[in-house]
Amino acid sequence: MIDAIFFDVGGTILDESREFATWADWFGVPRHTLSAVHGAVIARGLDWQETFRAFRPGFDLATELDRRAAAGEPESFGETDLYPDARGCLAALKDQGLFVGLAGNQPAHAESTLRALDLAVDVIGTSHGWGAQKPSPAFFERVIREGGGDASSILYVGDRPDNDARPAMDAGMKACLIRRGPWGHILDIPAVSERCLFRIDTLDELPSLVARHNAASG
């Protein structure tokens, strides 16, 4: 049985297209140029920040976020950046009586912004707030604690096989890969995706899949 479901944030419930566009503007490079470099970084399996280091050697996220804020151009996201299927999926899973959470690698400002969106979730966790980031075991141990302590009853949903699905399954959880965003379309690790409980193209698919799984498991 699946009793709890946790969602990655960026690329899963949050469309980061506009955020990456603002970074291109901040660096003063064409948006399609940053996108091209970003795709190459993903395909090579590198840390996403290598994209920004191509334009700003020595790039440090916290430092650069402070610079953007000081310049009146803070990184931000809001309602319009949510994928259209996010709210409905979260609400439908809550209606099934499931414990629903968000848990992703996000900077300091993200947690309060996510809370302000008033999503149908029971808990919101970020790498900044938890002091651990994916794919570290410590991050997924925290997910398990927040989800009730039984890893086998928790499903983790994300767009990345490397940062989401694989470490979640290594921690004893079930995993669902969603194919969207840069990582979902570029990074393919068959040995990981084939072990996932579900593979989907839209969050609209998930509530019925979970309901059928739980009905069969009961």
Query: 3-state SS string over 55-82?
Result: CCCCCCHHHHHHHHHHCCCCCCCCHHHE
Q: Half-sphere exposure (CA, 13 Å, Cβ side) for 131?
A: 0
What's the number of domains the chain is made of? 2
Q: Looking at the structure, tell me whether residues 8 and 27 fall in a common domain.
A: no
pLDDT tens for each residue of the chain, 218 residues long: 999 999 999 999 999 999 999 999 999 999 999 999 999 999 998 999 999 999 999 999 989 999 999 999 998 899 999 999 999 999 999 999 999 999 999 988 899 999 999 999 999 999 999 999 999 999 999 999 999 999 999 999 999 999 999 999 999 999 999 999 999 999 999 999 999 999 999 999 999 999 999 999 97
Q: In this structure, are 84 and 172 located in the same domain?
A: yes
Same domain, 11 and 87: yes
Q: Are residues 118 and 200 in the same domain?
A: yes
pTM: 0.94
Read off the CATH number of the domain in which 145 is found.
3.40.50.1000
Same domain, 50 and 134: no
